[in-house]
Amino acid sequence: MWFRNLRPYRLPERLGLSAEELEQRLSSRPFVPCRPAQPLSTGWVGALADSAEALVHAAGPFWLVRLRREEKLLPASVVRDEVQNRVSQIQIAEGRKVYRKEKMSISDDVTQDFMPRAFTRSKTIEALIHEKDGWLWINNASAAIAEDLLNALREAIGSLPVVIPDTRKNPAMVMSDWLLHGSLPEGFELGNEADLVEPGEDGGTVRARSMMLDCDEIRSHIESGKHVQRLALNYQDRLSFVLGSDLVIRRLKFAEELVGANDDLKDDLLARKDADFLLMSEAIAELSPLVLNAFGGLAE
């Protein structure tokens, strides 16, 4: 339930739907496992858990949705070896050369023949929607995986007016200034890791791990022209995370007092997840504007 990553998107025009209406739209595209010859299947599953019926879970102004993605694993080397085996058989049996176009057709046949026997890999992608304030956060740092969920939402809703947030000040420059002058926003403290990148295609990267960042070594790298790409931060001892210059939050960790606040509900899985979801959502909704304000707020 507790998100580990936050890839943010703005909803400038909002979704224009209630939670109930969104539920109806998503119900037209439920998850169905891959058929024997199908390489990939995506669809919506119970938001809180596999045992939950609701595809959209609402708690206060926050909505949770969850997309399942199942794909068949068919190694390219297996296909390639079998194609070569079949090509060799044709060449020996018919005494002729097999050209590229025929090899491609054989490759398609091999893929179709082997697909029913391929292993499957399944994962879920979660998204927190704050429709009232126009935000959507995906619990994954990968842009490609996040796009899978956004595309699935577009298919279900018909359109999805999301934009990547842009701030007035350059996050890389601002975070570099924090390390150079120790001027963090109120409530924030430095963690113990940072990635510093030298501009340019051939620029190097310095990865500081498990060290005090308020030191001459780090400052000298910044003075030489390197910029912060990722920086570990702590907010009021409640949230710790690694903030990227792309505004993506990675390795988000909530304080034990938050994670354990609903321990009395441990015997009721869905009730516990519901209560945890609301706590998590409120914490994220509190953190997000503070991060944006640290970079001058959203650009016009």
- Summarised one tens digit per residue, pLDDT across range 242-262 is 999 999 999 999 999 999 999
Q: Is the pLDDT of residue 123 over 90?
A: yes
Q: Are 45 and 67 in contact (CB under 8 A)?
A: yes
User: Domain check: are 60 and 80 in the same one?
Assistant: no
Which of the four pLDDT bands, split at 50, 70 and 90, describes residue 172?
Answer: very high
User: Domain check: are 84 and 56 in the same one?
Assistant: no
Domain of 85, in residue numbers:
76-116
User: Domain check: are 64 and 112 in the same one?
Assistant: no
pLDDT of residue 210: 93
Calculate the alpha carbon distances from 243 to 42, 140, 193 in Å.
Answer: 30, 13, 11
Q: pLDDT for 66-87, tens place per residue?
A: 999 999 988 889 889 999 999 8
Residue 164 lies in a domain: no
User: Domain check: are 282 and 205 in the same one?
Assistant: yes
User: Domain check: are 152 and 14 in the same one?
Assistant: yes
> Helix, strand or coil for residue 215?
coil
User: Domain check: are 139 and 225 in the same one?
Assistant: no
Q: How far apart are CA 222 and CA 212, in angstroms?
A: 15
If you average pLDDT over each of 8-17, 109-118, 222-231, which comes out highest? 222-231
User: Domain check: are 37 and 129 in the same one?
Assistant: yes
Based on the structure, what is the number of domains in the chain? 3
User: Domain check: are 255 and 220 in the same one?
Assistant: yes
Residue 45 lies in a domain: yes
240 against 158, higher pLDDT: 240
Q: Are 192 and 136 in contact (CB under 8 A)?
A: no
pLDDT of residue 163: 93
User: Domain check: are 11 and 153 in the same one?
Assistant: yes
User: Domain check: are 18 and 103 in the same one?
Assistant: no
Residue 2 lies in a domain: no
User: Domain check: are 68 and 81 in the same one?
Assistant: no
User: Domain check: are 12 and 148 in the same one?
Assistant: yes
Residue 300 lies in a domain: no
Residue 277 lies in a domain: yes
